[in-house]
Amino acid sequence: MFLEPQETMPQTSVVFSSILGPSCSGQVQPGMGERGGGSGGGSGDLIFQDGRLISGSLEALMEHLVPTVDYYPDRTYIFTFLLSSRVFMPPHDLLARVGQICVEQKQQLEAGPEKAKLKSFSAKIVQLLKEWTEAFPYDFQDEKAMAELKAITHRVTQCDEENGTVKKAIAQMTQSLLLSLAARSQLQELREKLRPPAVDKGPILKTKPPAAQKDILGVCCDPLVLAQQLTHIELDRVSSIYPEDLMQIVSHMDSLDNHRCRGDLTKTYSLEAYDNWFNCLSMLVATEVCRVVKKKHRTRMLEFFIDVARECFNIGNFNSMMAIISGMNLSPVARLKKTWSKVKTAKFDVLEHHMDPSSNFCNYRTALQGATQRSQMANSSREKIVIPVFNLFVKDIYFLHKIHTNHLPNGHINFKKFWEISRQIHEFMTWTQVECPFEKDKKIQSYLLTAPIYSEEALFVASFESEGPENHMEKDSWKTLRTTLLNRA
């Protein structure tokens, strides 16, 4: 049974559009107003091309963020600049500069003929702060940022002391921010309590596992059900990743290049935890195969995981699919030639074709693109699921950052680069917001998350005990491994 990607390709949804609007093009939308130059030109320190901001000085970009009486920044620009600005300065410094620009504009309005528009200006500032606190609440966990926020809101409140509309909006914004920060803090505490599966030292030279020892087939023998539970775990774990976490990839690389520390590197915890899940799943697959004593049962185990990976592909769970394939390609599993000779590998060959690394994983990217394009036509929540191969996504962001410079020769920030990084992060965040439509099975998930996994040494021991070494290199490895384990015992 071959996969038919043109018919089974899953789809996504645009859940994150509430932040980024209908697109992430960065073009000025009607009624938004515009600072700077028009099509193909520049004004001051901002350069536009076909109505799209492509570069500017940091100061001009900050000024472009702040509303005026007749201007409010495009929402895609707000998200992209707030996301990318942390590469150049911490959020609390940006907030301080925003506060200064607000004071300057407020003073100009008070001294000029447009004093009556102070209330309208204040409402726009509150709207900007609202979008900021909703998109990046973690920026305000910093005491300096919270102090700057209070200072700005205090100033704008003075512009509407009569009916208190602005003050009420600020109170609602602050309450929502505090609730969001509390929720994230609780989630982080919960994540830190979770431990990866225990590493089992495995068999020590001819010590067979107990007959009653449970394996994955004893918990779940339906490939589709297991793929659905893996999707549950994936979506649960990826939901704790936020846009600023992904931007840490860029800011962290800059800090390494410049031999200085920028940003809180502990914020990459969620990225590392998700990457560790991939590795644990690969090792679990290898463990489940290698610890089976009888060749007939090992064959069945391999075919089961091939079917699980296939179901993951059909669901749109590319990350679990890649982890399973990686587990079956680990040396202790791949070397089991007698076992593999009994496996019907046609389906496995199709899976490997989709994950062929040649031409920068061209086949996988084609499948992922098909999933993304069909997302707009999704008729059910099941069709919205797209979980990309996470380490490939991270590499894409990394190389996009390394290939294109942050600054242009004229000193401007290369904002065209950050539009693209923002677009890719926005797309990823869209996928993370999808609610898993499958029924949760706690028993299966518990096994997947807590079952002991063999160490690399234990996997080789189990592999060699199942099928002895076949060449001089394997014989030398087996001899060295036996000696090491016997000495350790």
Q: Is the pLDDT of residue 211 over 80?
A: no
Q: Domain with 340 in it: what CATH number?
A: 1.10.840.10
Q: Are 363 and 355 in contact (CB under 8 A)?
A: yes
Q: Is the pLDDT of residue 1 over 80?
A: no
pLDDT band at 84 (very low <50, low <70, confident <90, very high): very high
Check whether residue 277 and residue 391 sit in a common domain.
yes
Mean pLDDT to the nearest integer, 26-36: 41
Q: What is the pLDDT of residues 47-65, one digit of tens each?
A: 999 989 999 999 999 999 9
Residue 98: per-residue pLDDT: 95
Q: Name the residue type at position 276.
A: N
- The larger pLDDT score, comparing residue 482 to residue 113, is at 482
Check whether residue 238 and residue 92 sit in a common domain.
no
pLDDT band at 221 (very low <50, low <70, confident <90, very high): very high
- The larger pLDDT score, comparing residue 452 to residue 32, is at 452
**With pLDDT > 70 as the criterion, what percentage of the chain qualifies?**
80
Q: Name the residue type at position 5.
A: P
| Phi, then psi, of 317 in degrees rounded to 5 | -90, 80
Q: How many domains does the chain have?
A: 2
Residue 22 lies in a domain: no
Q: Is the dihedral of CA 158, 159, 165, 171 positive or negative?
A: negative
Residue 117: per-residue pLDDT: 82
Q: Is the pLDDT of residue 29 over 60?
A: no
> What string of H, E and C letters represents the secondary structure of the chain?
CCCCHHHHCCCCCCCCHHHHCCCCCCECCCCCCCCCCCCCCEECCEEEECCEEEEECHHHHHHHHCCECCECCCHHHHHHHHHHHHHCCCHHHHHHHHHHHHHHHHHHHHHCCCHHHHHHHHHHHHHHHHHHHHHCHHHHHCHHHHHHHHHHHHHHHHHHCCCCHHHHHHHHHHHHHHHHHHHHHHHHHHHHHCCCCCEECCCCCCCCCCCCCCCHHHHCCCHHHHHHHHHHHHHHHHCCCCHHHHHHHHHHHHHHHCCCCCCCHHHHHHHHHHHHHHHHHHHHHHHHHHCCCCHHHHHHHHHHHHHHHHHHHHHCEHHHHHHHHHHHCCHHHHCCHHHHCCCCCHHHHHHHHHCCCHHHHHHHHHHHHHHHHHHHHCCCHHHHCCECCHHHHHHHHHHHHHHCCCECCCCCEEHHHHHHHHHHHHHHHHHHCCCCCCCCCHHHHHHHHHCCEECHHHHHHHHHHHCCCCCHHHHHHHHHHHHHHHHHC
Mean pLDDT to the nearest integer, 243-270: 63
Mean pLDDT over all residues of the chain? Answer: 83
Residue 187: per-residue pLDDT: 67
Q: What is the pLDDT of residues 168-196, one digit of tens each?
A: 999 999 999 999 888 877 766 666 655 55
- Last residue within a domain, chosen from 163, 193, 216: 163
Residue 250 lies in a domain: yes
Check whether residue 255 and residue 159 sit in a common domain.
no
User: Token pair of 201, please?
Assistant: 């030292």
d(CA 158, CA 166): 9
Check whether residue 325 and residue 233 sit in a common domain.
yes
Check whether residue 145 and residue 251 sit in a common domain.
no
Location of structure tokens 């447009």:
114
d(CA 330, CA 289): 11
pLDDT band at 37 (very low <50, low <70, confident <90, very high): very low
Q: Domain with 73 in it: what CATH number?
A: 1.20.870.10
Residue 144: per-residue pLDDT: 93
User: Whole-model pTM?
Assistant: 0.83
Q: Is the pLDDT of residue 199 over 80?
A: no
Residue 294: per-residue pLDDT: 92
Mean pLDDT to the nearest integer, 350-370: 92
Residue 463 lies in a domain: no
Containing structural domain, residue 93: 46-163
Residue 377: per-residue pLDDT: 79
pLDDT band at 243 (very low <50, low <70, confident <90, very high): very high
Nearest to 242 by CA among 316, 143, 137, 142: 137
pLDDT band at 213 (very low <50, low <70, confident <90, very high): low
- The larger pLDDT score, comparing residue 333 to residue 41, is at 333
**CB neighbour burial string for 120-150, b if at least 16 within 10 angstroms, e if fewer:** ebbbbbbebbbbbbebbbbbbeeeebbebbe
Check whether residue 297 and residue 373 sit in a common domain.
yes
Residue 96 lies in a domain: yes
- The larger pLDDT score, comparing residue 212 to residue 420, is at 420
Check whether residue 287 and residue 150 sit in a common domain.
no
